Structure 1
């Protein structure tokens, strides 16, 4: 395969403009392209292509398709991604250059710093805008306010061949997981993501070095990850609260929160301590503050419960140290609190801990805020997936763990729903032969069929509203103290115990 000279020249222009290279490096860059693309060289003809509006991603997609056509790589996901990351690494400055520029901007304007790093992460396709745009997003009004729903279509589906190759591959222990800082610049393999174009900002959080990076498949605006430098398990404690506010002090226009640190109610990666952050206002941020209270010995911190499907305590103060002290006290009390009347149990007979919190920090109106969402991961014979987990009758919509993002009122729903909803629409509009294919949705569809008079004009809005109400139920199932008289009386007993 020979590379077109016009294309090579135009791509090199982008590399020089955006990367760490100068015009003197043009031949070197050209040879890097030949190496990455397994090309034989560059054709000498003067054929010029009208591609002046192409982005770096456009060039990489074109060349990868050329490699597949010439039999230089197989048309499998991991090979395409490795080549793409290597090509886009050329337009990405070195980690040291990016870190120096980020911190230079941070000292003047945190927003300029994140704007710089976010633009770079989109340009080199680490943040996969084209894939993210495939997601189906909508809002549904509820008594708790509008909640957000996303049917997640951004992550590319692996083919049967991709899956087979991954199963056959030897297991490797470097990097230890997808969140390890060692992924920065890592080539990738059949079983590990390509990260040649990956960059991580180093941040100091209370004297320890942490990494800050954007999420490739964002679920909200500027979705990013703050990750421990060391591969250590998730842990919620006093240091967590200190770290969250240390981040907010540096990047005050972002929120930051952590998944829980125990199974079933935690996130998908419990093996590596990390937080999630970004520039987004979630439905829970707007939740009504009710039941104001103070805790003796912690005067100066305003405390509230929230009108929200889950059980939330919000702490507010000008003094972040006071919030950290009170949050640490509340966490300790919650970890040891039981209330048999509502099935709340801190420890099993074997000593297994069932309680933790999902914490979320922000700066609002020049005041520090910390939300503590109470979590309980008990299981029972009736609810083997979790008592405070989506119950079986709503798992046809959402069965997965309820993590930080869902807690705050943004549903991340499985990609399977897109086709399933399309099939349900056809059934409800008259294709009754599809009844046998309704599967896990059968009871729900039959209930809707008796409730609504569906037509082409109203079916989309009705189905979205029904999905939203299912997700509201998911959150209510995950709430420890329910929003009924018994549940709220129990919540107040815990508050009084403080």
Structure 2
């Protein structure tokens, strides 16, 4: 807690850290100090203090500066108002957009990786990427028959205070920025109902004669989780241009993968109103999956094609010829859009409403361009009103949300409620007093039948393994062709249409 008698020391040290990190030019010391004083609502300051012999950790200083502002009544004590002030303070050590872009592209001339390393480090150092909150997430692996699936219980985003929610309802949305992915978010202070973006920067980049941007995700789900976004606010649409753009991105940044969420509700886990893709520097289980059935595409002799050994229905295309790969991926998309097989439960349309689309993921594999096309269908039924190819009711106690790009590749993003709820399940399995949620009861009873627990058994590990099994089921539910003999025969029936 920052007290009045040491706040001047904290301000002095904060500025000195910025100078030592070469984020603040010594000539700008007075300027930056005065800007910080203004943010803290402070009119007096002891300007001749020596810096601390051992400088504190910057984010610890940031917390104390914000505490001071709360204690002095400069801001209200809500997560949103604290976040707004945090971003404004960290903006003092963040270069202007023009300078960030100059630094990025100067480094890019030597190496794309050097450029992204610079931008990623900056986005962490200025607290735009919430490293401390991300560290709170629970993460473990489940050894599935398809490779190690990753499970994350997402605890990084702070819960909203009920008073903040009530206040947000009274706040009129000015309609600016247009959405969370618009470039106008760069430097936006934020509101009680809108995230703070004062310390947010976007790299400008050309992409197939369009203006696009590169930014990192504040609450990253994996290493260097980034977003490529259109400078124009326009809806997402899967088409030939999508493949041109995602392959164009991995050509510019060969150390990153990039993928698009599907462009239909239920099977798209994303903001469909703004054209964008997600990428990063992470190897997912799906990338390691082997091809278990190879086939040829007529007219595309340079393209290797095959079906992946994966719980969802994935076609992998690979070629050194980018133009051929784009055309081959477009063929698969267009063929799938209108494909129906009633015997296999696949209907492309209900009257004029489309159901078939694709989740595409692109990467470099040595000299090759590689693209995975995950077949999706968003049809619902009376038995499965949330979606036939969506987590079924018996697994929704763990995962009810849409299965988007990240889950498709083998990384589960599970809701924060599970952290406490699974602890209650563990207590139930140990026959200890518990408050197990009713929607976990049937599952917990099934687990109890599988094993007898004693002091030597790791109940926590057992429950985590069971969660992994559920995530595998979630992926299997989302697969339009199941990993059964009948399912794979039906899949190959579709494959045959690609050469006619």
Q: TM-score band (shorter)?
A: over 0.9
1:493 corresponds to: 493
User: TM-score, normalised on structure 1?
Assistant: 0.96
2:130 corresponds to: 128
After the TM superposition, which residues 374-413 of structure 1 pair with which residues of structure 2 at under 5 Å, given as runs?
A: 374-413=375-414
Residues 54-76 of structure 1, C-alpha deviation per residue, up to 9 Å, x if partnerless?
22x22221110011122221110
**SS of structure 2 residue aligned to 1:411:** strand
User: TM-score, normalised on structure 2?
Assistant: 0.96
- Kept after mapping to 2: 8 A contact 1:355/1:376: yes
Distance of 1:357 and 1:41 partners within structure 2: 60
**SS of structure 2 residue aligned to 1:42:** coil
The Cα of 1:21 is off from its aligned counterpart by 4.6
- Kept after mapping to 1: 8 A contact 2:10/2:65: no
Residues 203-256 of structure 1, C-alpha deviation per residue, up to 9 Å, x if partnerless?
111111111001000100110100111111111111111111111111100100
Distance of 1:484 and 1:181 partners within structure 2: 46
1:287 corresponds to: 289
- Kept after mapping to 1: 8 A contact 2:202/2:213: yes
1:365 corresponds to: 366
1:184 to 183, 186, 206: 186
Q: Does 1:24 align with 2:23?
A: no
Q: Does 1:439 align with 2:443?
A: no
The Cα of 1:17 is off from its aligned counterpart by 4.8
- Kept after mapping to 2: 8 A contact 1:3/1:43: no
The Cα of 1:455 is off from its aligned counterpart by 3.4
The Cα of 1:103 is off from its aligned counterpart by 0.7
2:215 to 202, 213, 216: 213
The Cα of 1:107 is off from its aligned counterpart by 1.4
The Cα of 1:45 is off from its aligned counterpart by 7.4
Give the gaps of 5 or more residues in structure 2: none
After the TM superposition, which residues 26-65 of structure 1 pair with which residues of structure 2 at under 5 Å, given as runs?
A: 26-43=29-46, 46=49, 49=52, 52-55=55-58, 57-65=59-67
**SS of structure 1 residue aligned to 2:353:** coil
1:12 corresponds to: 15
- Kept after mapping to 2: 8 A contact 1:282/1:409: yes
2:149 corresponds to: 147
- Kept after mapping to 1: 8 A contact 2:12/2:49: no
The Cα of 1:448 is off from its aligned counterpart by 0.7
After the TM superposition, which residues 56-135 of structure 1 pair with which residues of structure 2 at under 5 Å, given as runs?
A: 57-135=59-137
Distance of 1:280 and 1:242 partners within structure 2: 22
- Kept after mapping to 2: 8 A contact 1:18/1:91: no
Residues 321-351 of structure 1, C-alpha deviation per residue, up to 9 Å, x if partnerless?
10000101110000000000011010102x0
Distance of 2:100 and 2:440 partners within structure 1: 49
- Kept after mapping to 1: 8 A contact 2:15/2:24: no
- Kept after mapping to 2: 8 A contact 1:306/1:312: yes
- Kept after mapping to 2: 8 A contact 1:139/1:148: yes
1:301 corresponds to: 303
Distance of 1:152 and 1:122 partners within structure 2: 19
The Cα of 1:47 is off from its aligned counterpart by 7.5
1:427 corresponds to: 428
- Kept after mapping to 2: 8 A contact 1:14/1:91: no
**SS of structure 2 residue aligned to 1:83:** helix
Q: C-alpha root-mean-square deviation of aligned residues, in Å?
A: 1.5
- Kept after mapping to 2: 8 A contact 1:5/1:45: no
**SS of structure 1 residue aligned to 2:264:** coil
1:469 corresponds to: 469
Once structures 1 and 2 are overlaid, which stretch shifts more, 62-71 or 249-258? 62-71
The Cα of 1:295 is off from its aligned counterpart by 1.0
**SS of structure 2 residue aligned to 1:453:** coil
Distance of 2:426 and 2:479 partners within structure 1: 31
2:333 to 331, 334, 344: 331
Q: When the two structures are aligned, how many residues end up with a matched partner?
A: 494
- Kept after mapping to 1: 8 A contact 2:124/2:130: yes
Distance of 1:7 and 1:492 partners within structure 2: 66
Distance of 2:490 and 2:304 partners within structure 1: 21
